[in-house]
Structure 1
């Protein structure tokens, strides 16, 4: 279980760039209906204990505020955390909260799903498989995107705040320093984790933003791959001052793993760009980039876990409704046989609203007599027209899905020493679209920039094509552009 957020105005304990404070855990409170088992962890604000809930019987993690820090402000923060977690915990990749209350000794507490392990314990001990890291990245970014859509910033995304359920599912925990979007202001009253904090947060320019959360997501995925935080130097100076200096100025180093493709290195480097505007525009865009890498590596694509907007649910068409042609008549498109009404024991027609074999419904009273021949023919004709229309619409949709993605018309190439620069004009990208550049058979990660540089180690011919990527699909590639490099400076 991860430690709770740190006390205001301090950097919370964490290996690599965080100040470590040690103290004995507080006395576990006596909670009716719960039996204390052991201490799980301690932080600046709270302790976390393992309890067994009596009914229903299960192990739970209970986060309890420290008595010495409980005041009206802290109590409000804790209540806000409980409310946020309760609102978000229906998400499959966010830790579930069962209840919140105040113990008899006056300490507020939060009862949560118990997870026996954190990724913070695993990623430094063993090398996580690439496929697992990509899947974790998509799931946790889905949780972050869901929080953003509800106006909530997490502000402490890092490996130790990713827990693992009993079924191996990663879940994001600890919304203790979460803030509402648009209300996060620069403040020294917020604990932060230096190795996974964006430069603008460390410079106190902003306490949190969507862009800084994208940075933290990139740093977290990098850490899970590399076994260390992005700017941590093995055997070097990894104190807070040194780390902050490298985060603010140094380029993102490679992960050092031979199985990590260049495209993924590019995705992570973009997420940790110094300028927030150069990063992926949202957690959703970061997810799409990770899914593109999964597709490139022929891995099963991890599904997006973001709820459909209410308006989309309200306007969704029930497929069963597509066979309805009137208030009281329907024809099944899959069968050409006419349906006869079933009769009950009395011989009377069974009303369609009660007939389990009927696909129609009657608005108003049930009809007691069969429709006239003319009306039946009219109904069949209308049904046939609807069916044909649906087929045509389906064909047009399929055709449109393949042809609605713009194609890059002209790719230009220029050389500067050992660097070949490919450039092209925007063919009409929409929000969320990106380019995929294929050079010598290898595809890049999706990018928004209409240019791509290739550094050569030796002379030769370099060829590239550019494809537009939209909603997980790729359009037609551009014509291949090749250029010859005769000499590479040494």
Structure 2
């Protein structure tokens, strides 16, 4: 039975949202500013020093990560009049992923998009030095925009301050359950999504442990059940732990899931940590490549800009030596996977440099990180060895004073006119080859200006790469504020417009959803004079959306 909601100044109780082992969550209405909020209240029976410490740690962790679009925002923390600690959080009106699984079949596109966005949230936590340690569908809510929102950092830990004890296999030889706890010093463990290293007597999780749980969560979305659950057989806690330790993933029973996605999920849930993706961004990029393979618009990876420098190279140095810019989030665009020979593939990816576009081209301080052509691609366009012209060594002097040649030096013979003719023919042939190579390289450089190819879903281009139609972003024509300041008119255009183009726009700083129009012009009303207004505009063409244009007027 749920506890009684506490009396909180400035908040009006609405109803119970959910109840857990250590806390209850209630829906309140905040009076100022007026909005619906979720209030998580620690249960009286569970309040001891360890519980209080975990509750405070959760508040501090969520406060550090709340700026991310896919992490639940925390507004306030305090202690109620009845001495119960509470958190005031963003109210996510949509169902959790666990609830969605109970009533619908989640499509591949939705699962990929959700996986990339959750990877962004997990990467953000890792960049802040935080392990979530309990990623599962029930801990992913849906906000008012339909976006996933990662929550419940109740057992999250700083990377350098891991707890001394978690629930182990020997402690679970009692009644099995999905989430197991043991004693006040133990920390909850969601077994169906936990990696094998968490079952040891002295667990030492790291970022790859979260990646296992992340991949297991995406697998659950596609399968409709946990990855190690076998229909028709015993699926107790001990059964699941044994299968997890042996890497016995139940195959996906879906024909619409490509083999590349299955392989990515299996790598993410590898038994050995060394065989998994080494970062959440790496896992997100793998999902992006599947999106490109299916002809889908790749979902952006939004990560904290903790190590992204200025796009302009410093004089006499590389971009890596520059100071970090003060921006909140960097968006990493999708990059198709290169196909060099297997032994050199990882080395090519590791050596791949990353360049950046100017910060002014993005919205809300977001910096796009665009990958440069890979080492493998560079090898494909390199000039063949046999076509390179090399200068001939100087002939020895004709006079008697010339130094005698070394014993291993080549013997020089008198020039033959026919040989000279053959030499010039060879030079001419080499020049023709070089001109052909240069023309090919120039054509590749200029290729983006031509109409991009749109292959069928799941197919690649002629060179083995993946061709994706890019929708051109809008370009601002004018932004004019009315004389009374109560409205503003924005006009824009799109290069190479096509019939059927539509535009979405949304006013920043409001809770209104995006609006759709076919006219590249809109008037925003109800403005406050003297307060700047900005809107985000994007072109929608054939189901694909362009990069956003941020248009502002004061």
Scaled to the shorter chain, the TM-score interval is: 0.5 to 0.7
Moved more, 98-107 or 62-71: 62-71
**Cα drift, residue 149 of structure 1:** 0.6
2:10 to 11, 33, 47: 33
1:150 to 106, 128, 143: 128
Aligned residues of 2:117 and 2:302 also touching (Cα < 8 A): yes
Structure 1: which 5+ runs fail to align?
A: 1-23, 319-404, 412-422, 435-469, 481-490
Aligned residues of 1:288 and 1:472 also touching (Cα < 8 A): no
Residue 271 in structure 1 maps to residue 268 in structure 2: yes
2:35 to 58, 72, 87: 58
For 1:207 and 1:196, locate their aligned partners in 2 and report how far apart those are by CA, in whole Å.
Answer: 16
Matched residue SS, 1:123? helix
- Compared with structure 1, are the counterparts of its residues 299 and 26 closer, same or farther at alpha carbon in structure 2 (3 Å cutoff)? same
Aligned residues of 1:95 and 1:172 also touching (Cα < 8 A): yes
- Give the 5 Å matches for 1:288-327: 288-309=285-306, 312=309, 315-317=310-312
Question: 1:115 corresponds to which residue?
Answer: 92
Deviations 1:176-220 (A, max 9, x none): 100001322551311010100001112344252111111001100
Question: 1:218 corresponds to which residue?
Answer: 215
Aligned residues of 1:199 and 1:274 also touching (Cα < 8 A): yes
Matched residue SS, 2:37? strand
Aligned residues of 2:157 and 2:163 also touching (Cα < 8 A): no
- Compared with structure 1, are the counterparts of its residues 197 and 427 closer, same or farther at alpha carbon in structure 2 (3 Å cutoff)? closer
Matched residue SS, 1:106? coil
Matched residue SS, 2:230? coil
Residue 242 in structure 1 maps to residue 219 in structure 2: no
- Compared with structure 1, are the counterparts of its residues 113 and 57 closer, same or farther at alpha carbon in structure 2 (3 Å cutoff)? same
The root-mean-square deviation of aligned C-alpha atoms, in Å, is 2.7
Deviations 1:150-188 (A, max 9, x none): 100000000111100111011100101000013225513
Aligned residues of 2:72 and 2:89 also touching (Cα < 8 A): yes
**Cα drift, residue 238 of structure 1:** 1.3
Question: 2:179 corresponds to which residue?
Answer: none
Deviations 1:92-112 (A, max 9, x none): 000011111110011010001
- Compared with structure 1, are the counterparts of its residues 190 and 167 closer, same or farther at alpha carbon in structure 2 (3 Å cutoff)? same
For 2:81 and 2:294, locate their aligned partners in 1 and report how far apart those are by CA, in whole Å.
Answer: 55
**Cα drift, residue 288 of structure 1:** 0.8
The size of the alignment, in residue pairs, is: 322
Deviations 1:102-142 (A, max 9, x none): 10011010001111211110123211111111011001111
**Cα drift, residue 478 of structure 1:** 8.6
Aligned residues of 1:185 and 1:207 also touching (Cα < 8 A): no
For 1:431 and 1:254, locate their aligned partners in 2 and report how far apart those are by CA, in whole Å.
Answer: 31
1:262 to 247, 259, 264: 259
**Cα drift, residue 250 of structure 1:** 4.1
Q: TM-score normalised to the size of structure 2?
A: 0.55
- Compared with structure 1, are the counterparts of its residues 72 and 407 closer, same or farther at alpha carbon in structure 2 (3 Å cutoff)? closer
Aligned residues of 1:187 and 1:207 also touching (Cα < 8 A): no
Matched residue SS, 1:306? strand
For 2:372 and 2:153, locate their aligned partners in 1 and report how far apart those are by CA, in whole Å.
Answer: 30
Matched residue SS, 2:285? helix
Matched residue SS, 1:431? helix
For 2:295 and 2:338, locate their aligned partners in 1 and report how far apart those are by CA, in whole Å.
Answer: 25
Aligned residues of 2:37 and 2:88 also touching (Cα < 8 A): yes
Aligned residues of 1:295 and 1:301 also touching (Cα < 8 A): yes
For 1:71 and 1:225, locate their aligned partners in 2 and report how far apart those are by CA, in whole Å.
Answer: 40
For 2:112 and 2:217, locate their aligned partners in 1 and report how far apart those are by CA, in whole Å.
Answer: 11
For 1:164 and 1:302, locate their aligned partners in 2 and report how far apart those are by CA, in whole Å.
Answer: 17
For 1:156 and 1:169, locate their aligned partners in 2 and report how far apart those are by CA, in whole Å.
Answer: 19
**Cα drift, residue 268 of structure 1:** 0.4
**Cα drift, residue 477 of structure 1:** 9.8
1:202 to 193, 199, 222: 199
Q: TM-score normalised to the size of structure 1?
A: 0.62
For 1:158 and 1:427, locate their aligned partners in 2 and report how far apart those are by CA, in whole Å.
Answer: 30
- Compared with structure 1, are the counterparts of its residues 226 and 478 closer, same or farther at alpha carbon in structure 2 (3 Å cutoff)? farther
**Cα drift, residue 76 of structure 1:** 2.1
Aligned residues of 1:211 and 1:282 also touching (Cα < 8 A): yes
2:165 to 187, 190, 204: 187
Structure 2: which 5+ runs fail to align?
A: 167-185, 314-336, 354-369, 381-461, 463-554
- Compared with structure 1, are the counterparts of its residues 28 and 100 closer, same or farther at alpha carbon in structure 2 (3 Å cutoff)? same
Matched residue SS, 2:17? strand
Deviations 1:342-380 (A, max 9, x none): xxxxxxxxxxxxxxxxxxxxxxxxxxxxxxxxxxxxxxx
For 1:28 and 1:68, locate their aligned partners in 2 and report how far apart those are by CA, in whole Å.
Answer: 15
Matched residue SS, 1:51? strand
